[in-house]
């Protein structure tokens, strides 16, 4: 696997012979070997032309765009090279058939809830008394297997996260006064941090789905809709506790991110550029970490776990093996 290329400075991206070249607004040039890139993150004002887009499309490189406030605005998704008609039919079938859809929706929430519980248990064993929240989450997740609709599932998931987020005031070694999740726009430091990290997880999942035969617009837990790759939202639920939340806890408890990392606007906070770069650097390091995969019997990176999750979903859709969401066991 290659690496993600982040652009924080304003400038110009273009094709240069058989590679890419970034030219900053000050005129500094940097060549970027295209063979080493998995995806590109544009965190600034950037200009490029169709020659550049056509070239990166040949290599299957998505581009993810974030605005001045570090809000995710969208992705350039090259034409799919691996889409298979039969699998697409199966994807649609598992969405339109309520029985098949609810099975998958439950699996996503079960894995997310289990990973949330593991996070709480981890900190409870490290002098952070979150036992009451653990009990509440445990009671709620018992309702998942008997849920009969996606709406009911989403309600259970919302209540689980309410308990989970309340525990953050105990887990985090800063005065955060975190009461509830607010997204549009994020109204405090924690909400701003969660929104940014979750959008990064979403784009990472999208980049991995691109390398499979799945269509990212057909989903089972989240309702498919215009202007979003909703299957990424489904799979992200599994990885937000494992990768995103654990990253946030680490950044806050090591004081790498504090209130000084944000700029306050009229009714919301947004990350300063230096803080955003710190988060992406730490995220990339975390995604490179490996674990011994129980089934494969070899070391697998956190990032590759996302692609394996997509492969497991494919096996479920074609009737080869029932899908089980990735669950933390350590």
Q: Residue 69: what pLDDT? A: 80
Mean pLDDT of 9-29: 92
Classify residue 288 as left (phi > 0), alpha (psi -120 to 50) or beta.
alpha
pLDDT of 180 over the 70 cut: no
CA 182 vs. chain centroid, Å, equals: 18
Q: pLDDT of 235-287, one tens digit each?
A: 999 999 999 999 999 999 999 999 899 888 767 778 899 999 999 999 999 99
Mean pLDDT of 115-136: 96
Q: Residue 79: what pLDDT? A: 82
pLDDT of 161 over the 70 cut: yes
Q: What angle do CA 199, 128, 293 make, to 5 degrees?
A: 55
Q: Residue 185: what pLDDT? A: 67
Q: Residue 6: what pLDDT? A: 94
Residues 167, 137: Cα–Cα separation, whole Å: 11
The H or E element containing residue 104 is: helix 98-124
Q: pLDDT of 28-41, one tens digit each?
A: 999 989 999 999 99
Please tell me the total number of residues recorded for the chain in this structure: 330
Give yes or no for a contact between 284 and 213, defined as CB atoms under 8 angstroms apart. no
The topology (CATH level 3) of 85-317 is: 1.20.120
pLDDT > 70 in the chain, percent:
96
Q: Residue 182: what pLDDT? A: 62
Residues 304, 327: Cα–Cα separation, whole Å: 15
Q: Output 145 or 67, whichever has higher pLDDT.
A: 145
Phi/psi at 5 (nearest 5 deg)? -110, 120
DSSP 223: P
- Residue 236: cis peptide before it, omega within 30 degrees of 0: no
Q: Residue 183: what pLDDT? A: 64
Q: pLDDT of 293-306, one tens digit each?
A: 888 889 999 999 99
Q: Residue 174: what pLDDT? A: 83
Q: pLDDT of 39-59, one tens digit each?
A: 999 999 999 999 999 999 999
The hierarchical CATH code for the domain 3-61 is: 3.100.10.20
Please state the domain extents for the chain: 3-61, 85-317
Mean pLDDT of 158-185: 84
Residues 308, 312: Cα–Cα separation, whole Å: 6
Q: pLDDT of 76-94, one tens digit each?
A: 988 877 677 899 999 999 9
């Amino acid at each position: 696997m290659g690496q993600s290329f982040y652009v924080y400075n304003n400038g110009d991206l273009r094709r240069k012979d058989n590679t890419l070249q970034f030219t900053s607004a000050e005129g500094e040039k940097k060549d970027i070997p295209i063979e080493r890139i998995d995806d590109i993150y544009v965190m600034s004002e950037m200009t490029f032309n169709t020659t550049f887009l056509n070239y990166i499309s040949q290599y299957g490189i998505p581009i993810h765009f974030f605005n001045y406030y570090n809000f995710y605005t969208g992705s350039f998704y090259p034409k799919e090279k691996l889409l298979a008609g039969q699998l697409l039919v199966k994807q649609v079938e598992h969405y339109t058939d309520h029985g098949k859809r609810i099975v998958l929706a439950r699996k996503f929430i079960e894995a997310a809830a289990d990973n949330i519980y593991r996070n709480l248990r981890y900190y409870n064993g490290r002098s952070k008394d979150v036992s009451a929240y653990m009990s509440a989450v445990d009671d709620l997740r018992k309702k998942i297997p008997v849920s009969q609709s996606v709406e009911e599932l989403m309600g259970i998931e919302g209540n689980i996260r309410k308990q989970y987020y309340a525990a953050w005031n105990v887990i985090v070694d800063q005065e955060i006064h975190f009461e509830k999740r607010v997204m549009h726009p994020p109204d405090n430091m924690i909400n701003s941090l969660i929104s940014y990290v979750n959008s990064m997880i979403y784009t990472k999942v999208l980049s991995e789905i691109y390398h499979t035969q799945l269509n990212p617009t057909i989903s089972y837990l989240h309702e498919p809709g215009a202007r979003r790759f909703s299957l990424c939202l489904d799979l992200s639920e599994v990885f937000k506790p494992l990768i995103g939340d654990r990253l946030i806890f680490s950044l806050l408890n090591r004081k790498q991110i504090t209130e000084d990392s944000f700029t306050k606007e009229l009714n919301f906070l947004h990350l300063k550029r230096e803080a955003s770069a710190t988060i992406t650097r730490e995220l990339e390091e975390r995604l490179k970490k490996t674990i011994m995969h129980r089934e494969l019997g070899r070391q697998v990176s956190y990032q590759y776990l996302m692609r394996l999750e997509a492969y497991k979903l494919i096996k479920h859709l074609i009737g080869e093996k029932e899908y089980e969401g990735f669950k933390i066991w350590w």
